[in-house]
Amino acid sequence: MPDVDRRLFQGDRTLAEFIDAHRLLWGSFDPHYFSSIPYRLEEEARLGDAMFRYGMAIVRADRPANFYVLGSAEGTFARTLAQAGQGCFRTLSCSPNKENEDSFYSHGAPAFADFFLGPFHHLTNELIRTSDRLRHFREGSDIILEDTTFQMYSPNRSDQIQFVKGHLKDEGIMIFIEKFRHDDEKEYSRRELQKDYGYKSRFFTTSEIERKNFEILKRMNENENTITEMAEAVAHHFHHAYITWNSGNFYTVAASNSAQNLSRYISSMVPPASPTSMYIQGRLNRSLIRTFRICNFVATERSCMTFSAWISFALLTALQTASPGPAVSLLISTGLRSGISGTLALLPGIFVGDLTLITVAFAMTTALLSVSAAIFDGIRIAGGSYLLFLGIKTIVGVRASSTTNDDPAKSSKTFHQGFFTTVLNPKGILYFATFLPQFISPEGSYNVQFTILGATFLGVGLITDTFYAVTSSYGSRYLTPLVRRGLIVIAGTSLLLTGAYVLLKYAVSLRVPFA
């Protein structure tokens, strides 16, 4: 009997809870299926957790989120999701086997899950429109999950996708779990041997493995696509697609015409729960790259960043760095209090702080933050506390403010203020760890592109910070002492409130599940 390797969950409680609830609903086919694909059971928990989070984010009081699952045999996955949603989701499972329907209802008729007996191409929009039992799905599904179903019928992915997409909302997400042929037959065979005798042999005898390969997998293999062929089929129907998981020759692909919804879904996913030995990565051909973006970026020799992507990033960076934040508040308060020498002493600290964050983000991207929430919690507490300290210090020290410049001997202290204000800002940490990679093309070198984006941010940030430093410093000459002190208090209050908000948000997240 297969069981999850809970070490791969990195202590994630919600994944463990999902798989425990899932296990209680298993039918007769589930043990066989999860014994056949390495770490597919762990991926089941990862998918369920991500769909749960996504569903809770989009659900409305007057309309639950709809999930349609093709090929999940007994509908265990869909039933588990519906049960976890407690009325926030409606799920629909589809299978042509009567045994699967019997197994689906063996645990009783679920309140928020339905089952359609028949092949997926028999479930037409007309049938859904006229069936009272399926009335909840007349407006379409928010997510459709195809689990190794298409390859049981034919290799014509484009037509299959077109048919099923008719049940998807315009900005919905379609997820494909499929086994793909490889351009290199030797590599395909190597992965199959690894699957059969490195994993399946734990649950099946050699003769059982060989019999299954002949009776079932032969038909599946005939209907398999290559990843390139799948990319071309997906490109006919969706603008955006990502590969989110693979184990041997099995891959998960998520596609949508809404970049925002797809980004929201993928950002809710924890890292793949698969050992490196099973998670195949390597160079991918260009026809695939043009269609798919890979969550775990694959480097090639060239940067391949488009000019439009760089311009978009530069403009968004200008808006982000110009918007009021801890560093801007510190620059303004220092300029009003100490003049140009004080603010110019801050700039190197802010610059080095940004450079430090970019370097850390480059080393870990989003993986470390996802895997070790404790690290980010520590950063949030330290950052919020430091902003509180700076805010109080700025407000308390307003009486000592003057229009004269600070003593040059204090420049190192000012440097440290700029550095720690930047480094300990949780917003900055999240920005570099999650925002920069969105502008990176998988067709090019991850290292080169991240360096270009990092340098762009540093350059734009230095320009906007210098603008604030100069305008606040020289502008203070035309202000009365009372107005100048009032502006310093406002800037200090901004720092204080930002720190309080960070700490309060962390305290609330400790009490609210999934916060």
Give 153-178 as a 3 state SS string: CCCCHHHHHHHHHCCEEEEEEEEEEE
The pLDDT value recorded for residue 263 is 85
List CB contacts of 116: < 8 A, sequence separation 6 or more. 92, 93, 94, 95, 123, 134
Q: Tens digit of pLDDT for each residue in 248-297?
A: 889 999 999 998 898 889 888 887 766 554 444 332 232 333 334 433 33
- What is the residue-averaged pLDDT of the chain? 76
Distance CA 58, CA 60 (A): 7
The pLDDT value recorded for residue 54 is 92
- 58-62, 157-161, 294-298, 382-386: least confident range: 294-298
CA angle, 354 as apex, 442 and 333 as ends, to 5°? 145
The pLDDT value recorded for residue 298 is 30
Residue type, 464: T
- 168-172, 373-377, 402-406, 503-507: least confident range: 402-406
- Reading the block at residue 37, the tokens are 């694909």
List CB contacts of 67: < 8 A, sequence separation 6 or more. 51, 55, 78, 81, 89, 90, 91, 92, 141, 142, 143, 144, 145
Instruction: Tell which residue, 160, 168, 186, has the closest CA to residue 125.
Output: 168
Q: Tens digit of pLDDT for each residue in 357-366?
A: 888 777 765 4
Q: Does residue 390 carry a pLDDT above 70?
A: no
Q: 44 with 247: CB under 8 angstroms? A: no
Q: Tens digit of pLDDT for each residue in 288-332?
A: 333 344 333 332 333 455 666 788 778 877 766 665 567 777 777
The pLDDT value recorded for residue 79 is 93
Q: 259 with 293: CB under 8 angstroms? A: no
